[in-house]
Structure 1
Amino acid sequence: MQRSIKTPFSSTLKLTAIAQAALLASCASISAPAPNSSSHSAANKRGLLVYGGPILTMEGAQPAYAEALLIEDGVIRFAGDLTEARKLGPQALKLDLKNKTVIPGIIDAHSHANSVGMQQTVANLYAPPDGKVVNIPSLLNELKDWAKKNPDFVQATSGWIMGNGYDDAELQEKRHPTADELDLVSKDQPVLILHQSGHLASANHKALELLNINADTQNPEGGVIRRVAGSTVPNGVLEESAVIQAMMAAFKAVPPAVMEKMALKAVQTYAANGYTTIQEGRADRGTAELWRSLAARNKLPIDVVAYPDISSEQAYMLEKGSRREYANHFRIGGVKISLDGSPQGKTAWLTQPYIVPPAGLPKTYRGYPAFPQQQTVQNLINLAFQNNWQILAHANGDAAVDQYLNAVEKAVKTHAAKDRRNVIIHAQTMREDQLDKAKQLNLIPSFFSLHTYYWG
């Protein structure tokens, strides 16, 4: 029998929806009272006794387990001995874990919550085991099949056919689909597909036309429009800021009801996988206000923290600011700045050349920065420090990490020391010396381990 222990499940820790439907991460099809049901109300009045499996508290450096949890009115009142828990809550409803494990709710270190809803709405172009796409013909078939089955969404987006998750590294052809190939899905409707990394995309000719991308279109700052070899004609493949512009254009006409449906689908997915706090990284005003609206209508069962883009949403941030407290499960936590691309797309900014550069590029190719001028980055970092906004900086390549470290180093010399907890998102090619410097500057590397699974 275990003693009663102090745990992170403190007496002030608030839970929702029957302790997040029996702590969410019980990782099994446990029968628990459904949120918003009469049993929910009964459990709030009588309490809920959770027992019958390992309850990992995450207390201390070594695993610490409780035998039982007693939850009353959405608050964990006791964690420890089962006999003691029964004495404290004799009338509590009982939830037998049947040897399944309970862990504290998972806090999302980095993601784009609204994109998760989009991912599950548009055509699934992932390779096995996440999807069925193994080559370009199977990718085209998935798009055609999805368009037939989702006429309402296609109509809501003014005819756009969209897919997500293709990976040129997993396709048998080992390259991106071209505009010519996507024309086989439709020549009359725009087709746009997003790379699994989120940093590249491919569009058909109708989409390029609607996006005003042609042979005379210059590359946007921080992005590239790939061309047919030996010409300036776009081949359909877009990189970085060009992708963002295309996605914004495609979703511009989507009705609010459809956007809300995608957002709530994302929340359900996170919650089903044990998350109690999720992140909306690099949000624009519209996305942040979508989450705020859902929160105001009590539609968020878990916490959503947004980080608007400091480059494009300065006015919004100066108007709304950031806060540490949630209002109905929503808050703006700080700002996001994206300094480069992805190693997968070979758009991450490195100090050394890529071993194998993208087709048509020289052996000296090292990727490229989102902001070529260091002073631009410095001004944005200074603005965040002045307003005490936490900064999440997307930096995959070590050159991008250098750019961020240098800007932060200057900022800390001229601004008061505060507990900002600034972050290096991804940090995938950080050098040893950069790790040392990050520690000195109190920066937190948020290593994106999922990339190792797919591209390691």
Structure 2
Amino acid sequence: MRLVSSLLPLVLLVISFASNAQTVLYHNFSGYTLTGEPGEEALFKQFDAMLIRDGKVAAVGSLETLTTQLNQVPDRKIDLKGKTVLPGIIDAHGHMLGLGENLMQVDLRTASSEQDAVARVAEFAAEHTEQWVIGRGWNQENWTSRDFPSAQSLDEFMVERPVWLTRVDGHAGWANSKALELAGITAETVSPEGGEIIRDSSGQPTGVLVDNAMALVESQLPKKTAEYYRKALTAAFDHLVSEGITGVHDAGISATNLEVYQQLSAEGKMPVRVYAMLSASEPKLPELLAAGPITTADDSLTVRSVKIYTDGALGSRGAALLEPYSDAANTRGLLVTQPDAIEDLFNLVIPYGFQINIHAIGDRANRIALNTFAEAFGTIGGRNLRHRIEHSQVVHPNDIPRFKELDIIASMQPTHATSDKNMAEDRLGKERMAGAYAWQTFLEQGTIVAAGSDFPVELSNPFFGVHAAVTRQDRANNPQGGWYAHEAMTLKQALRAFTLDAAYAAGQERELGSLEPGKWADFIVLDQDPYKVSNAKLWQANVLATYVAGEAVYTQE
């Protein structure tokens, strides 16, 4: 990998303004950005002053050089008092509606056991009178038993009201008996294709539904209104800007969600730039594709991609593997969408010029995705559309070079590795770990890696992701030396994956992702310098302010 460092003084543009230009000069800070072309050709820049004109970067460099070349006094001059400035973080894979809902529902992420989760649900239900009790975040891998939960434990406190609790990865759900009853699920109910109704030894449903089987209960949930979408998305916006996130690639939205985004954008109420992927399961997908890509004038909303699911998740044994699970020899996971249907979607989407972002976690799912891309490129073309594989989590070593050969972007989430480290070897065995969470292997072959969090599956704080990428450790600094540490990123690689390369993955590297002249002035102010603290402390970065188009959308009180 080649990163060229350029130290102060630095000026990237000779400044000339119209008389009515609104200019703001920020100074007295430690600034860092990766500039130029994405990937290994990116240049590392440092600066201590930045001039913004009408929401865009006009110049960066030293205060002395910018002051010398200015031909007019800026409208404002702001001293950042020695803090650190970085480009706004772009999360290349998140779920905005899911995050907003998570903030409004019972959160089970830190539940230590099935009983603890039940107690939290009971407490939440006592304070909320809606018919359905809805939550998310349970993870049996964090419990001592590591067994799936049961409807019976929920029934002990909640009989008349239905309960539906989504697993942390969004690929399994836990229902009480009332919810199963409303969904019509009995011992005779057949598991749908691409899903599984977990059953006990007598064939009775236990209350846990995996992947496509979840729809049996979810079809009974209260319908989501446009106002509900607005409330949830606004909650997500407020949360994300407080963490320094200025852009999100929203991984799978409905037509209704799109309508609400368009309304919010028109009203100027989108403090986070959204690159939205249309859901392949949206009934109106052909109509939306025919309407063409969407890009607002202020780049607050962009729509020119489609999200397709191939398989489920590793934690719920829904990831599709080439060989059986090491800890469950009777299964190789699930295909949420069958190969023929995936091929049909490629043939539908690519001719409209939309990027395909395909979810693939298991090695079989990744191979199916790569094979389908290769076939499509040979028949209908579209190789230039910067297609992506979302997660690229467990890839057969023979398939990793194909990402580069096919120009496929690997959209990966660093905190998945540190969350999965306690169970991944159990699921895969050591041999298959050779192609799992293989960030550095992808980077060394020149593949663009776009980093995200997959919130609310993981916490959205991007510095948790930067820390995980660099250390391969959790925030308690375990395991010592890092988990499969040879696949760790450098700090520059990690920050590039969350900024410039994430922008490239959305075709937005000319507008976003770095602090360079002509790009939007999306930046954050931190209380610590990531290049001067130990790697173990990277996750502790505190966001003091977040700016989008040069305007503060968050300041710490």
Shorter-chain TM band: 0.7 to 0.9
> What does the per-residue CA deviation read over 1:335-372, in whole Å, with 9 as the maximum and x for residues that have no partner?
11100001111110000111101xxxxx2421121234
Task: Please point out which of 156, 164, 174 is paired with 2:136.
Answer: 164
State the Cα distance separating 1:450 from its structure 2 match: 1.6
Contact 1:310 1:317 in 2 (8 A): no
Higher strand content, 1 or 2: 2
State the Cα distance separating 1:220 from its structure 2 match: 1.7
1:136 corresponding residue in structure 2? 114
Contact 1:282 1:335 in 2 (8 A): yes
Task: Please point out which of 322, 326, 333 is paired with 1:355.
Answer: 326
1:50 corresponding residue in structure 2? 26
1:376 corresponding residue in structure 2? 341
- Work out the CA distance in 2 between the residues paired with 1:244 and 1:95: 52
2:61 corresponding residue in structure 1? 80
> What does the per-residue CA deviation read over 1:7-59, in whole Å, with 9 as the maximum and x for residues that have no partner?
8xx999xxxxxxxxxxxxxxxxxxxxxxxxxxxxxxx9753322222111212
> What does the per-residue CA deviation read over 1:163-207, in whole Å, with 9 as the maximum and x for residues that have no partner?
111110012331222111112341111111111111111001111
Higher RCO, Cα 8 Å, sep 6+ = 2
Q: Are 1:120 and 2:98 counterparts?
A: no
2:252 corresponding residue in structure 1? 282
261 and 212 in structure 1: CA distance in 2 versus 1, 3 angstrom threshold: same
- Work out the CA distance in 1 between the residues paired with 2:190 and 2:23: 63
416 and 174 in structure 1: CA distance in 2 versus 1, 3 angstrom threshold: closer
Q: Are 1:99 and 2:75 counterparts?
A: no
**SS of the residue aligned with 2:52?**
strand
Contact 1:424 1:445 in 2 (8 A): yes
> What does the per-residue CA deviation read over 1:70-108, in whole Å, with 9 as the maximum and x for residues that have no partner?
223212222111134446363443433333211111222
2:8 corresponding residue in structure 1? 2
- Work out the CA distance in 2 between the residues paired with 1:194 and 1:272: 25
Task: Please point out which of 357, 366, 386 is paired with 1:401.
Answer: 366
Contact 1:311 1:380 in 2 (8 A): no
Task: Please point out which of 168, 177, 184 is paired with 1:205.
Answer: 177
Aligned positions of 1:200-349 closer than 5 A: 200-231=172-203, 233-252=204-223, 254-313=224-283, 314-323=285-294, 329-349=300-320
Contact 2:10 2:62 in 1 (8 A): yes
Contact 2:353 2:382 in 1 (8 A): no
Contact 2:321 2:333 in 1 (8 A): yes
Amino acid at match of 1:208: L
- Work out the CA distance in 2 between the residues paired with 1:369 and 1:102: 43
276 and 245 in structure 1: CA distance in 2 versus 1, 3 angstrom threshold: farther
Contact 2:294 2:301 in 1 (8 A): no
332 and 407 in structure 1: CA distance in 2 versus 1, 3 angstrom threshold: same
Contact 2:289 2:349 in 1 (8 A): no
Contact 1:394 1:424 in 2 (8 A): yes
Task: Please point out which of 66, 81, 94 is paired with 2:47.
Answer: 66
1:28 corresponding residue in structure 2? none
Aligned residues: 404
- Work out the CA distance in 2 between the residues paired with 1:210 and 1:327: 45
Contact 2:95 2:251 in 1 (8 A): yes
| Larger deviation, residues 50-59 vs 194-203 | 50-59
State the Cα distance separating 1:236 from its structure 2 match: 0.6
Task: Please point out which of 369, 380, 385 is paired with 1:420.
Answer: 385
- Work out the CA distance in 2 between the residues paired with 1:244 and 1:335: 21
- Work out the CA distance in 1 between the residues paired with 2:217 and 2:409: 32
Unaligned ranges ≥5, structure 2: 1-6, 37-41, 422-557
Q: Give the TM-score normalised by the residue count of structure 1.
A: 0.82
408 and 189 in structure 1: CA distance in 2 versus 1, 3 angstrom threshold: same
**SS of the residue aligned with 1:340?**
coil
- Work out the CA distance in 2 between the residues paired with 1:73 and 1:138: 52
**SS of the residue aligned with 1:169?**
helix
Q: Give the TM-score normalised by the residue count of structure 2.
A: 0.68
**SS of the residue aligned with 1:189?**
coil
244 and 425 in structure 1: CA distance in 2 versus 1, 3 angstrom threshold: farther
- Work out the CA distance in 2 between the residues paired with 1:251 and 1:297: 27
178 and 326 in structure 1: CA distance in 2 versus 1, 3 angstrom threshold: farther
2:124 corresponding residue in structure 1? 146
1:389 corresponding residue in structure 2? 354
1:37 corresponding residue in structure 2? none
Amino acid at match of 1:54: S
- Work out the CA distance in 1 between the residues paired with 2:151 and 2:16: 58
- Work out the CA distance in 1 between the residues paired with 2:222 and 2:24: 43
Contact 1:11 1:76 in 2 (8 A): no
Identity of aligned residues (%): 28
1:360 corresponding residue in structure 2? none
Amino acid at match of 1:335: V
Contact 2:350 2:382 in 1 (8 A): no
Contact 2:295 2:301 in 1 (8 A): no
1:130 corresponding residue in structure 2? none
State the Cα distance separating 1:218 from its structure 2 match: 1.6
| Larger deviation, residues 281-290 vs 88-97 | 88-97
- Work out the CA distance in 2 between the residues paired with 1:105 and 1:244: 36
| Larger deviation, residues 114-123 vs 322-331 | 322-331
Unaligned ranges ≥5, structure 1: 13-43, 128-132, 358-362
